[in-house]
């Protein structure tokens, strides 16, 4: 029973939607943003629920994610229902923030384009041939929604600290996305979906991961010069250390729970740390 409930929570993308909320809360906390954060959190929750369930509804033919694919194949109607619920909820709050339509519209377009190559109709299927930056694209979407958009809506904190925080978060997410794409590279090749990971050899992928992690650590440490405390810097770096430790393990162990709970959870782990641990 507990496993069924855990799978339901994880595979309906409620968990990843919760991760997105915590990441937004951390952005608000560390950059001292002031806007209708409650409304934006609801928008992010519903839009994440919509986009991920839509993506998984289109991914039922994947072969490298056995447990989740089996679950998806037996719950396609539930994925469609959650997609509809998420679409209605996010549309309602989109109009709540209609004055920021340009920034929000960008988020909607970017999110759709990530899943669009999985559609089998003409123009969308064509995107598979040009989606070389799939890994970069997904990392950018996550950074855009959880970090850049709150800053844009607030409109009063365009500064070096905001730029470094966006960079730090993007590079950590990108490192995690590299691991996901490494696992999916055979399926992506068969499906005709291109990415840098499908082009690079093992050494090239390792170098790309190392470069991303080095950039993450550097941009995070530089936040110290913009009134981020030493403790905050340490808490922000912790997930990166764990990701680096898990990298060789995740290249051999393709467990859905390692990927969709542990690795996805590491995107928001520093949020838990900075929200609940005093870091002044």
What pLDDT band is residue 200 in, cutting at 50, 70 and 90? Answer: confident
- Tens digits of per-residue pLDDT, 96-107? 888 888 888 888
pLDDT over threshold 60, residue 68: yes
Say whether pLDDT at 125 is over 60. no
Closest among 279, 155, 266 to 223, alpha carbons compared: 279
* Contact call for residues 205 and 178 (beta carbons, < 8 A): yes
Given its phi and psi angles, is residue 192 left (phi above 0), alpha (psi -120 to 50 degrees) or beta? left
Among the residue ranges 23-37, 130-144, 194-208, 215-229, the one predicted with the least confidence is 130-144
Q: If you count them, how many residues does the chain have?
A: 280
pLDDT at 63 over 60: no
pLDDT at 64 over 70: no
Q: Is the pLDDT of residue 205 over 90?
A: yes
Ranges 148-157, 218-227, 241-250: which has the least confidence: 148-157
Q: What is the pLDDT of residue 276?
A: 87
**pLDDT of 62 higher than 80:** no
Please answer whether residues 242 and 263 qualify as being in contact, where contact means their C-beta atoms are separated by less than 8 angstroms: no
pTM of model > 0.75: yes
**Across the chain, what does the average pLDDT equal?**
89
Work out whether the CA dihedral 210, 213, 219, 222 comes out positive or negative: negative
Query: Cα angle at 111 between 154 and 79, to 5 degrees?
Result: 120
pLDDT reported for residue 187: 75
Average pLDDT over residues 41-51: 95
């Amino acid at each position: 029973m507990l496993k069924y409930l855990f799978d339901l929570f994880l595979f309906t993308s409620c968990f990843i939607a919760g991760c997105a909320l915590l990441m937004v809360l951390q952005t608000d906390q560390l950059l001292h943003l002031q806007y209708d954060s409650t409304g934006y959190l609801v928008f992010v929750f519903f839009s994440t629920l919509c986009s991920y369930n839509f993506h998984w509804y289109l991914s039922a033919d994947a072969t490298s994610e056995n447990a989740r694919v089996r679950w998806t194949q037996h719950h396609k109607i539930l994925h469609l229902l959650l997609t509809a619920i998420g679409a209605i909820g996010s549309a309602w709050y989109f109009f709540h923030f209609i004055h920021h339509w340009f920034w929000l519209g960008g988020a909607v377009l970017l999110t759709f384009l990530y899943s669009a190559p999985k559609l089998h109709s003409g123009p969308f299927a064509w995107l598979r041939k040009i989606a070389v930056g799939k890994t970069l694209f997904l990392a950018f979407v996550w950074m855009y929604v959880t970090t850049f958009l709150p800053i844009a809506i607030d409109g009063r904190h365009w500064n070096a600290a905001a730029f470094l925080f966006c960079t730090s978060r993007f590079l950590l997410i990108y490192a995690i996305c590299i691991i996901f794409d490494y696992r999916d590279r055979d399926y992506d090749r068969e499906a005709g979906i291109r990415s840098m990971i499908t082009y690079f050899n093992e050494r090239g992928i390792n170098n790309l991961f190392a470069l991303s992690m080095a950039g993450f650590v550097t941009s995070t440490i530089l936040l110290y010069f913009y009134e981020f405390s030493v403790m905050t810097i340490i808490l922000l770096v912790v997930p990166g250390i764990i990701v680096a430790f898990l990298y060789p393990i995740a290249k051999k162990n393709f467990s859905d729970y390692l990927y969709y709970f542990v690795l996805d959870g590491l995107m928001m782990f520093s949020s838990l740390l900075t929200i609940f641990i005093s870091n002044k």
